[in-house]
Chain A
Amino acid sequence: AQKVTQAQTEISVVEKEDVTLDCVYETRDTTYYLFWYKQPPSGELVFLIRRNSFDEQNEISGRYSWNFQKSTSSFNFTITASQVVDSAVYFCAFLSGNTGKLIFGQGTTLQVKP
C-alpha cells in the first residue's frame, strides 16, 4: 500500500529564513506522480508542482524549489527567503499510476513571523 509521511507537523520561522518541508513516500509502483499543494488560511487548495517517477530533475520556481530523490523516496520542498504570505498548510501527495488513487500526507503547517 502507498503511504505519504510529512513528519513535520508545524514549523515556525522568521521572515527571510529558508525553510524545508519534508515528504517521504512508500510504494512498490514503478509509475507514480508526486505533488505539493498549498492551503492558505482561506481554505482553498492550490496546486504547486507535479513530478512523475521518471523525472528526478530538481525544479526551481522563484523562491520555491523541489528536490526529488527516488533513492530515499523523498520529495522535499524548500522556500527560500520566506515571507509572511507563505504561511499556510502544505500537503505532499502521491498518485499511483496503476490504481489512480491519490493520497495526501498529513500536512505541515508553516508559520512565517514578521
Chain B
Amino acid sequence: NAGVTQTPKFQVLKTGQSMTLQCAQDMNHEYMSWYRQDPGMGLRLIHYSVGAGITDQGEVPNGYNVSRSTTEDFPLRLLSAAPSQTSVYFCASSSWTGSGGANVLTFGAGSRLTVL
C-alpha cells in the first residue's frame, strides 16, 4: 500500500502564480484533510472532506481551494500564491463513519512550498 501520496515534495513559486498540490490515498478513506505547518504555529487545518463531493473549511482556508470528486484524490489549489503561504503542507486521511467513527490519521510526507 502506498498510503497517502503527496506531490510535489518541493516547489518554489513566484507571487501571483497558481499551483495545485496533489494528494492521493489508496486506503478507501472517507476523510481527507490538508494542514499547513509553520514554526510556532503547529498544524493548522486548511480544508477537509468527509466524503466525495463534500468539503468544508478549516481554520485557515483563505487563499486555498479544494474539491473532492473521487474518494482517492483531494487536491489543494493555490489560486494566487503569496509569500504568507510559504509553509510545509501535509495531506492526511482516515476512515470516517459520521458521528460514530473516528480513526487515526495517515499523513503524507509533506510538501515544502516557498513563495518568493
Contact = CB atoms under 8 A, between A and B. Distances in A.
Contact of A97 (B33, B42, B59, B102): B102
Interface string B95-106: 010011010110
Contacts of A100: 31, 48, 50, 56, 96
B40 interface: yes
Contacts, number: 59
Contacts of A106: 40-42
Interface residues of B, number: 26
17 contacts: A33-B102, A37-B105, A43-B88, A44-B107, A47-B104, A99-B56, A100-B48, A100-B50, A102-B45, A102-B48, A103-B45, A103-B59, A104-B42, A104-B43, A106-B41, A106-B42, A107-B42
